[in-house]
Structure 1
Amino acid sequence: MCTCGWTGTEYPLDWQRIGETPLHEDERTYLDAENCRDDWDRHIETVDESTIAFPREVEDLLTKVSESLDRLAGESPAAALKAASRLEILARSIGHDAAYAAQRSMEPEEIGMALGITGDQAKDLLDHYRRL
């Protein structure tokens, strides 16, 4: 379920058919999981199209970082964890500064509209980053 209220299509598990088979080994369950991820990806694309856009440079950098770190996780999980930790620190710092700047210049409802969330959710997000 998304914070916007979207729930997507349900893909119930047939436990009688699955039995003791591990879920990742059951082909129908695996395909249902793929369909669920595809539904989520399409929803996120729709939400992204209706919210504030990143500058192209930032979008490209985020895509490149994501692809590089996905690759790194397969090649060197410890290095990927180190990178993830560094990204968390960076996100906290940027989020903290952005939350204070947004609070000074925008109403929570404006922030919510820009991010595809409600005004109350925007207040919670601002509070979260200001506490960091």
Structure 2
Amino acid sequence: MTDDRETWTTEEFGRSHAGSVGVLLPDGTIPPPALFDTGSGPDVYESTHWAVYDGRLPYIPRAAALRGVCSCGWTGPEHPLDWEAIGDQDLEDAADEQADASCQDWDDHTTAVEAATIPLPETVTSLLAQLETEIGKLAETSPLAALRAVRRTQTAIGGVGYWAARYAQQDSTPAQAAAALGLTEKAARRELDRLLRGNP
């Protein structure tokens, strides 16, 4: 079975805040995955992509609204679908505006998540941005030198990361670490474990 739902993530938060377009039925419930018999043996194609919920097949319901959803449990406002206006159009084309609005709602959600994380000192933010810029410039003129700079950075960060993770484990609960990093508790534990494996 395959799920072709489109999902979005950010570099910083990854799968802790994976977003997608969610579907609501007229009674406010979430439909089950749509199943399609491919006609070639026992293989069944499964989809939760919002555009398949057009009600044109008897066993697949028709969506009443779209909304942004996130793997953290957040859900955005509903964007109703006007089926009189949609008519016989393909839903993916006809409801493009509602899908885009759902994506924008999720963008706003991740912006709020970032705002709730522990702030970084401006000096650190500036240094990180400068380092990324300088290594990017170096990659254009001397890719091998840029690669060495990346390796040096990773080595330095590995040592610092170990001590940061160790102190964080001692001074905070998993829930506090997750909130500070904008991750789920499971993802925060995984990140701390990864950094602690780099024991200097």
The verdict on a shared fold, with TM-score over 0.5 as the criterion, is yes
Distance 1:43 1:58 in 2: 25
Equivalent pair of 2:135/2:146 in contact (CA under 8 Å): yes
| 1:23-62 deviation digits (Å, cap 9, x = unpaired) | xxxxxxxxxxxxxxxx8xx679714323111100000111
Q: Which residue of 2 aligns with 1:6?
A: 18
Go from structure 1 to structure 2 and tell me whether the alpha carbon gap of 1:95 and 1:43 turns closer, same or farther (over 3 Å shift). Answer: farther
Residue type matched to 1:75 in 2? Answer: T
| 1:86-126 deviation digits (Å, cap 9, x = unpaired) | 01101111110001000000001100000000112111111
Distance 2:158 2:120 in 1: 18
SS of residue matched to 1:3? helix
Question: What TM-score, normalized to structure 1?
Answer: 0.69
Distance 2:172 2:186 in 1: 14
Higher helix share: 1
Question: What TM-score, normalized to structure 2?
Answer: 0.46
Structure 1 stretches of at least 4 aligned residues deviating more than 4 Å after TM superposition:
42-45
Distance 1:123 1:56 in 2: 26
Distance 2:197 2:108 in 1: 30
Residue type matched to 1:91 in 2? Answer: I
Distance 1:7 1:61 in 2: 30
Q: Which residue of 2 aligns with 1:77?
A: 143
1:105 to 171, 184, 187: 171
Paired residues for 1:16-31 under 5 Å: none
Question: What's the CA shift for 1:66?
Answer: 0.7
Matched pairs, number: 102
Distance 2:114 2:137 in 1: 25
RMSD over equivalenced CA pairs, Å: 2.3
Q: Which consecutive residues of structure 1, in runs of 5 or more, have no partner in the other structure? A: 11-38
Q: Which residue of 2 aligns with 1:64?
A: 130
Question: What's the CA shift for 1:64?
Answer: 0.7
Note if 1:129 corresponds to 2:129. no
Rg larger in structure: 2
Q: Which of structures 1 and 2 has the larger relative contact order (alpha carbons within 8 angstroms, sep 6+)? A: 1
Percent identical across equivalent pairs?
30
